[in-house]
A and B are shown apart, each in its own frame.
Chain A
Amino acid sequence: MDDEAQVRQALNGNHRAFTQLVERYTPLVYAYIRARVRRPDVVPDLVQETFSRAWAQRHTLQDPARFGAWLFGIARNICNAYFRDQRNRATRTFTDVSRLDPRLDPPAPEGRPREDLEQLMAEVYRLPLLLRAPLLLRLFNPHLTYQQLAGLLNTTPEAVNRRLTRARNQLRRRLRV
């Protein structure tokens, strides 16, 4: 995908380019935020907020070729704001039980024992963020190349390769599949 041209067109008011950009990046931003936030129910709102803020701050995008990294930076800030908010709230009340109770994770899809998925999810979230982010991005869009992943995560393709390998092996060892 030629990000740069598309981003320029979108910023110039080409609606088609803009729509395609949103369509392509929604699952990626979702995956990136999901790697940070364990509660799937709040993720959609954070994703929407990311795009909202990105549009409002579009003048701060200096290099259209690095649109993805810029967008992820905004997503990161939004996640941090969310965590700050949660911490402040947690010191006041403990009403938000779902944060304390891991059993309140999303229901398992049919046809598979729930514990397996729960354990898998738990292990995914025990991975360090550095490994979890590329793994989830890969899961949400299997067609991304290491080059593109590196661009999004501000690193090199080799590092992406290493992190994915480590993530998979750690999972395999812990789950003993």
Chain B
Amino acid sequence: LLWEIAMNCKRALALISARIDREINLVDDEALRLHLEECPRCRKRLEALRRQEQALARAFAPEREAAAALTDRILAHLYTHDPAIQPRCTILVVDDKPYILDFITRTLSEEYDVLLADSGAAAQELFRHKRIDLILSDQQMPDMTGLQLLEWVFRHHPRTMRLLMTGYDEVKAAVQAFNRGHIFRYLEKPSFGPEGLLATVRDAARTFQLERNHEHVLKELRALNDELELRVAQRTRQLEEVNTELEQKNLMLERFALNDALTGLPNRRALDYLMERELRWRERYPAPLTVGIVDIDHFKDINTRYLHPGGDKVLTDLAKCLTDGLRKIDVLGRLGGEEFLLIAPQANQAGGRVLAERIRAQVEARVFTYRDPRSGSDQVIPVRVSIGLAVLELGVAADYEQVKLAAAAALKRAKDLGRNRVEVQVLAPARAEERPAAGPGVASA
């Protein structure tokens, strides 16, 4: 007997796999339970399959909800595209005379689900339990008038279409209610026959269904709209992120394009721009301007002795040293090689000379050290600079080329005269307009 109910692992696994989604059968099966108690391998498999089943359920959970919610959309779609599958309307008829209820039921039950009430209170009670699409009420009832009932419906169930039956003498009150929008149609008693009744109810039912379908479509549209808005918001955020990144990259590019990689000073391109701006500024607001070229003396020797790393170290240190000696409005940039350009706005010959002399002296006083990787020892590198200044006094006009030329000439003179010194070239005022092409003459200081 034991052998018969005993279970081998193969059979157990088959049972587990087949019944994993029906936990109830797993637990109920006595033979399987016994086997699981004894066999750790099968227990492990059961656990694994359970975990997998849970993971699957989790993976498809959002879609399961979406699928369930899809029903409304499909029904709305079918209603709007095929009126043949409209749901039957439910109509509540309220009258205290049984023969009227009987007549109306006979006329309408073919096309509508008819509910009956013999008083206003009974009608209100029915509204509590049923979904009612149309209500047809008599005006004269023992507990309340039809108008009172329909006003109550208007307040509590505004979607229900409201129809009123009245005798001839009550028409005035009905018209008033009609005008206030509390009722949709009224039927005049006792003259309406089955055709008149059916036509009026059909009219009301069609209006009701149209409105309901519109609501369905509107609901669908609203859902779509919400989804769209969400997507637009997401896209906008993504776009903003991309834009910020782009801005940062542009900023970096700009920095790369306008700064010297070694010293971090404005490079030649930036200097060109700054000089042009400075010169244009002077045209508008006349002021003196001093422009200087700073050149390291015997830089080639430094490069030869300490190789390029040493030269680079000197250049970076010098850049710092030179900047320290400047006024806030001065600009120092690297022209290339061992040449720096100094732009000192509003500095005349005397001021420029003081500034340049201060820089030169500062460099001379500064101790430039360099740890030579070959010997491992700190070396002191003597650095001296020669500075050629081009000075534009107040009212003297010149273009960038002329200024550079003058500064270069001054620098050459400084070099020729023994280096480690400042030489000044003052640009002469241009003659009158008759010789604009000749450019300003040069007067030596």
Contact = CB atoms under 8 A, between A and B. Distances in A.
Top 10 closest pairs, chain A to chain B, by CB: A30-B67, A15-B87, A165-B17, A27-B67, A177-B48, A26-B71, A23-B71, A165-B18, A168-B17, A51-B74
Interface string A30-71: 110010000010011001100110010000000000000000
Q: Majority SS of interface residues in chain A?
A: helix
A169 B63 CA distance: 24
B386 to A, nearest CB: 64
B62 A106 contact: yes
Contacts of B87: 15-16, 19
A26 B64 CA distance: 10
Given A15-B88, A175-B52, A161 B78 contact: no
B81 A27 contact: no
Interface size class on chain B is 35 or more
A171 B52 contact: yes
A116 interface: yes
Interface stretch (A1-9, A80-88, A92-100, A137-145): A137-145
Given A27-B68, A139-B60, A140-B63, 4 more contacts: A13-B84, A47-B70, A135-B56, A136-B60
5 contacts: A26-B74, A30-B63, A55-B85, A161-B18, A164-B17
A18 B85 contact: yes
B51 A177 contact: yes
Given A15-B87, A136-B60, A164 B52 contact: no
A140 B71 contact: no
B267 to A, nearest CB: 43
B86 interface: yes
B431 interface: no
B21 interface: yes
A44 B59 contact: no
Interface in A119-174: 120-121, 124, 135-136, 138-140, 142, 161, 164-165, 168-169, 171-172
A51 B68 contact: no
A112 interface: yes
A106 to B, nearest CB: 7
A40 B63 contact: yes
Contacts of B61: 109
A48 B70 contact: yes
B29 to A, nearest CB: 15
B82 interface: yes
Contact of A44 (B58, B73, B85): B73
A90 interface: no
A109 B58 contact: yes
B14 interface: yes
B17 A120 contact: no
A124 B55 CA distance: 12
A44 B65 CA distance: 12
A15 B67 contact: no
